[in-house]
Structures are given as C-alpha cells and as structure tokens.
Amino acid sequence: MTRRLCAPVLVAAVLAAPAAATAHTTVEDVTPADGARLTTAPAAVVARYAEPLAEVVEAAVAVDGAAVAGVRARLAPGDASTVRIPLPASPRSGRFAVTWTVRGADSHVLEGAVAFTVAPPALRADLRRIAAALDDAAAALRAIQT
Ligand SMILES: [Cu+2]
C-alpha cells in the first residue's frame, strides 16, 4: 500500500523542481564573445551574470590546447555579478579556451566557457598568402592531372 503512495509523491517532487531551478542566475554577457576572431588578445575574459555570485570556484585557460598555469579568476571588485579571468601575458595569439566555475548566491554551482581566436593582422596576411599559394598549387595539380 505504501508503495502506491510513493509514485504520486515523487511526481509532485519532480514537478516542483523546475520552479526551484529558475532561481539560478544566468550569464548575461561574456567578453570576448564565443567564437570571436580578434587581432589582439584582451587582458581578461569578463563574464557578467544577472545576479551577484557567492564566489569563483575555479577557472582555466588553454591556448592552442596548452593549459596556462597560475590563472587567478575573481569577482570584479565592487561587482559580485561579474567574473574576471585574466589572460596570460604570453602567448598573445592562438586559440583561446577559457572555462570557469562559480557558485551562485543560492549556492548552486554554475559552469561557463568561451573560446575565441587571436591572430595579429600580420599573421592573418601571411595566412591569406599561404591559402592563396595552396589554391594556386591545387589548381596546378589539377591542370597536370587532366
Ligand atoms: Cu540555483
């Protein structure tokens, strides 16, 4: 008999859960944006949340897949809704992948991530020249094969 009572109680508990979940704060804005292509590396990744956070639990930065040591993320001074993750002085170009974990004021743990590319204008010009040369080579190969 008691087992029959359990199911409706469980359903009620599950239905009540989404109401509690909406209490999470959410990311309003991350700078630079995910997928951004920049010519200079920013000093930091800045993530703005809708509500103040309790703390930054951890953060990690990787450039071209290599983890950067000594990343010290923190809440912005005087603004507990903003997380600031400083980027390394070197390297200043490559594929940046930044992840962070924060604890909201409701004690829930939230994770964030952003990835972007930094390529100086000179490097971009070089890459364009290389791409054009490869196109020429491919066209030459096609001409030989036909
Ligand atoms: Cu929450």
Given a contact cutoff of 8 angstroms between Cβ atoms, the answer to whether 84 and 72 are in contact is: no
CA of 20 to the centre of ligand 1 (A): 7
Cα–ligand 1 centroid distance for 127 (angstroms) = 45
Q: Is residue 6 part of a domain?
A: no
Q: 111 lies in a domain?
A: yes
Indicate if the pLDDT at residue 103 is higher than 80. yes
Q: How far is the CA of 109 from the centre of ligand 1 (A)?
A: 7
Q: How far is the CA of 28 from the centre of ligand 1 (A)?
A: 15
Q: Which residues of 12-37 are buried (b: 16+ CB within 10 A; e: fewer)?
A: eeeeeeeeeeeeebeeeebebeeeee
- With respect to residue 138, please indicate whether it lies within any of the assigned structural domains: no
pTM as predicted:
0.71
> Separation of 84 CA from ligand 1 center, angstroms?
21
Question: Does residue 125 sit within a domain?
Answer: no
pLDDT surpasses 50 at 22? yes
**Does the structure show a pLDDT above 50 at 1?**
no
pLDDT more than 70, % of the chain: 84
Count of domains forming the chain: 1
> What is the pLDDT confidence band of residue 5, given thresholds at 50, 70 and 90?
very low
Give the number of C-alpha atoms closer than 13 A to the C-alpha of residue 12, restricted to the C-beta side: 5
Mean pLDDT over the full length of the chain: 86
pLDDT tens-digit profile of 84-100? 999 999 999 999 999 99
Mean pLDDT of 106-114: 95
Q: What is the domain-level CATH number for residue 53?
A: 2.60.40.1220
CA of 111 to the centre of ligand 1 (A): 12
Residue 135 covered by a domain: no
Q: Which domain holds residue 64?
A: 25-120
In a domain, 17, yes or no: no
Q: Ligand 1 centre from 48 Cα, in Å?
A: 16
